[in-house]
Structure 1
């Protein structure tokens, strides 16, 4: 991945109204243009989607209807500009960097089609490439990592920043501009790990909740292999890795759903003791149904799910 230091990068991030990409609306978008030898060019805009922002989304990014009404610009105007600039940069040789690319790029694809503006695929002749997704890459490089806490997962941007050595500020997180910059820095650090001699790489910690865990020899081989890949080769490799990872997640959620159904079938199902047995059973069955729904909705396509 020596090309990371010499290739223009566009690090993209969005904040939206939903965790489901087919229905999400963009309310904050940022693109960090990283060009070797030049200052960082960070572009950010708030977007008025014309729909209410659900409370659960506001809890994530802090953006309210009132703020977006006062500061947001029309969706079509903002997204057309950003997609135009991104497409131009990619045609000129830039690589697109997106944390959880399948989500953000699918959101932008559906938004463009909904608004009647050309999606990124059309602007780039049918294929958005090369794309680098730190989540997909990290799952391949370090296969096993525990959750940091109940609320902080093993692959979220904050965790990757901590593992790879990028400074993190909680009060700035979940803003598109901040997350876009951190994503670019994480990729730079990952590229640095790929270039380390094996003895040094094997000393790197891979899990903060178990500080004794370090890069394993079998993982080191993947760091070395990825380090030798071109942007195009890495893109193609991620297509396969992302599909495998999505299939694995679907199986995991289905297993969790089955476990909750089994618990619900007990005479005295576990749960909130303030609820009676029937209420606890309903909670478990609702959670099981949601897991089944989410598992069925997982796409194995990458870097975005193709529109139906």
Structure 2
């Protein structure tokens, strides 16, 4: 089934140095950009992460330090990548929890401002887990009746994810062929930041989702304990979380003024 979209839909998969969103780096990006008229654009780019690739990461994606030593850094490609995904919605496999939070961190480290706020994010893994409970390799076999060649390569995984979503739309009549619906269906939480440290309640109020202030309004905490902002800004939190926190703080200060 052709996916019904209004904006270009970017399927993305990242191969990285590890799974820590705050510290790890991208070594390969796979993109399938699907346009509303049905055109598809496939791009794959290896990236020099500027830090060593651990052996355990190489064992999964088979990319070594030698493979990427002459490749551009993310900072080198950030502006052009930002232009490519501007105005797009996004989809991936386990992407809401990992790929897009890490991508947002890389853009912030590169000093390139990309607005993700009004974009839709479809996580094909969440749809799969809600309906079938499997992995990408099994999902590809189950939905597409094909073995996934080149698993854990960014391009192969990205193309497989795109094919799986189309097959999911064919298989499940309860899935609306609509990006807004799919993004909401595949979301597991209403995060204000990608890492889920700050979430929205049913009224759209930002709440802390961790630590001693879990469940409390961010604005309320910052008012009562101003030092909490500095603690988070100096702590080991993702840059995007800090950006969201700063936005809430500035908005609160402007409201008071």
Aligned to 1:186: 164
Q: What residue in structure 2 maps to residue 136 of structure 1?
A: 126
TM-score computed with the length of structure 1 as normaliser: 0.57
Unaligned 5+ runs, structure 2: 197-210, 212-237, 243-257
Between the aligned partners of 1:234 and 1:188, the Cα distance in structure 2 is 12
- Map of 1:29-68 to 2, 5 A cutoff? 29-35=29-35, 38-68=38-68
Ranges in structure 1 where 5+ consecutive residues have no aligned partner: 146-154, 196-223, 248-295, 297-303
Deviations 1:214-256 (A, max 9, x none): xxxxxxxxxx2xx23632133233334688xx99xxxxxxxxx
Cα distance between partner residues in 2 of 1:50 and 1:173: 25
Q: Distance in 1 between matches of 2:184 and 2:4?
A: 20
* Equivalent residue pairs, number: 198
Name the CA distance, whole Å, in 1 between partners of 2:181 and 2:24.
31
Secondary structure in 2 aligned to 1:22? coil
Q: Is the 8 A contact 2:29 2:154 kept in 1?
A: yes
Distance 1:192 1:242 in 2: 27
Matches within 5 A, 1:1-308: 4-5=3-4, 8-35=8-35, 38-70=38-70, 72-88=71-87, 90=88, 95-101=89-95, 102-118=97-113, 120=114, 123-124=115-116, 126-127=117-118, 129-142=119-132, 145=133, 155-170=134-149, 172-195=150-173, 224=174, 227-228=175-176, 230-240=178-188, 306-308=240-242
Matched residues in 1 for 2:79 and 2:135: separation? Answer: 28
Provide the rounded CA distance (Å) in 2 between the counterparts of 1:135 and 1:160.
Answer: 9
Quote the Cα distance in structure 2 between the aligned partners of 1:77 and 1:305.
19
Q: Distance in 2 between matches of 1:51 and 1:156?
A: 29
> Post-superposition shift, 1:112?
1.4
CA contact under 8 A between 1:31 and 1:43: conserved in structure 2?
yes
Aligned partners of 1:139 and 1:100: how far apart in 2?
10
Q: Check whether the contact 1:11–1:184 (CA below 8 A) recurs between aligned residues.
A: yes
Alpha-carbon deviation of 1:37?
Answer: 5.5
RMSD of aligned Cα (Å): 2.9
Greater helix proportion: 1
CA distance in 1, matches of 2:185, 2:120: 11
Deviations 1:84-142 (A, max 9, x none): 21123x1xxxx311111120001111111222221x3xx24x34x22111111112223
TM-score (norm 2): 0.67
Structure 2 vs 1, CA of residues 242 and 190 (structure 1 numbering), >3 Å: closer, same or farther? farther
